[in-house]
Homo-oligomer: A and B are copies of this chain.
Amino acid sequence: MSEERIEIADLGEFGLIRHLTKNIEIHNASTVLGVGDDAAVIDHFGKQTVVTTDMLIEGVHFDLMYTPLKHLGYKAVVVNLSDIYAMNATPTQITVSLGLSNRISVQALDELYEGIYAACDKYGVDLVGGDTCSSQKGFIISVTAIGEVTPGKFVKRSTAQKGDLICCSGDLGAAYVGLLFLEREKRIFQEHPGVQPDLENESYVIGRLLKPEARKDIIEFLEQSEIIPTSMIDVSDGLSSEILHISQQSGLGVRLYEDKIPISEDMKRAAFKFEIDPTACALSGGEDYELLFTLQQSEYDKLVLNEQISVIGYMTEPEEGAKIITKGGHTHDITAQGWNAFKGRQ
């Protein structure tokens, strides 16, 4: 018994919104008024409000051919939460705006919302508003995340100090290699529709692309350890691009060590299948959603035992520029080769 496809037009805009929001659970006392009015009302009770927004567009940021809608919903939320954590803040609310073509059924939207709500549950944030409209072509999802931070405790990109250690959470580059696998399988499928995808053993790198997580745990660890980073950013465009933001905005140089950059064994093995350099994936790949931060050298002892944090270099005088020391001992300039949304991978 297959369920009959329900068209969005059958429910109408308001019916659709009611359908999608009927099971909302509120996690935060700060959510004074949620979905269903002209605007939501939030009370952060003396804390400062942190706000960020990200838009994902079909064909640019995701391909529905290999992106399950549930994962897309989850990821659209997580990439925004990652920006809130990168301010050393705690996300509390989101709004979600959707542009939908009539290709999308209500059942498909339900899957998308399953992913959105799964992320809300996992990170303890509330969906408080949004907008749902039709799109002539393609699927668009625009999320705004709101968070809170104790006044003055937020961490910017521009406040790294000379001599600070550069730290990175988790491992880098895997999401990019995951993308390479999915693009390859798409091409094979298009040429030979009968061939089954060969993605066994690649679940780690593919999972990193399709269902990333934001590093809530790292922010909690820093708080528990009484570490306030001197600067912080999340890794959405690749390590090179992100460390250059910190370097340029702080007016300092950077020295990274290739052999310190955290790379997983799964990613390394996968990268070799494409005959590409794992370090290049970490530097330029993007979409890892790890946290990159700097801190005073005196804090080193507090994090040395945390296996989820790697020290990968330090901040230098501005005249020394942004450099990476390779495993072979050579020194190279760090250049931004990350994702450029207007030119594609460069």
Contacts and interface: CB of A to CB of B under 8 A. Distances in A.
Interface stretch (A56-64, A67-75, A113-121, A197-205): A56-64
B133 A39 contact: no
Number of copies of chain A assembled together: 2
Contacts of A89: 39
Most buried by B among A16, A54, A135, A138: A135
B135 A13 contact: no
A246 to B, nearest CB: 11
Given A55-B131, A57-B140, A33 B154 contact: yes
Nearest to A11: B342
Contacts of A93: 51
Interface residues of A, number: 72
A86 interface: yes
Contact of A154 (B41, B137, B147): B41
Nearest to A39: B52
Nearest to A95: B53
Nearest to A147: B39
Most buried by B among A37, A46, A55, A341: A37
A2 interface: no
Given A55-B133, A57-B136, A13 B97 contact: no
Interface in A150-174: 151, 154, 156-158
Contact of A146 (B9, B48, B51, B232): B51
B43 A48 contact: yes
Nearest to A152: B32
Nearest to A151: B43
Contact of A38 (B32, B86, B95): B86
Contacts of A60: 99, 133-136
Most buried by B among A60, A86, A129, A144: A144
Contacts of A9: 340, 342-343
A318 interface: no
A97 B87 CA distance: 20
A28 interface: no
Interface string A311-346: 000000000000000000000000000001111000
Nearest to A241: B14
* CB-CB nearest 9 A-B residue pairs: A39-B52, A38-B86, A142-B142, A38-B83, A55-B97, A42-B49, A144-B144, A133-B341, A9-B342
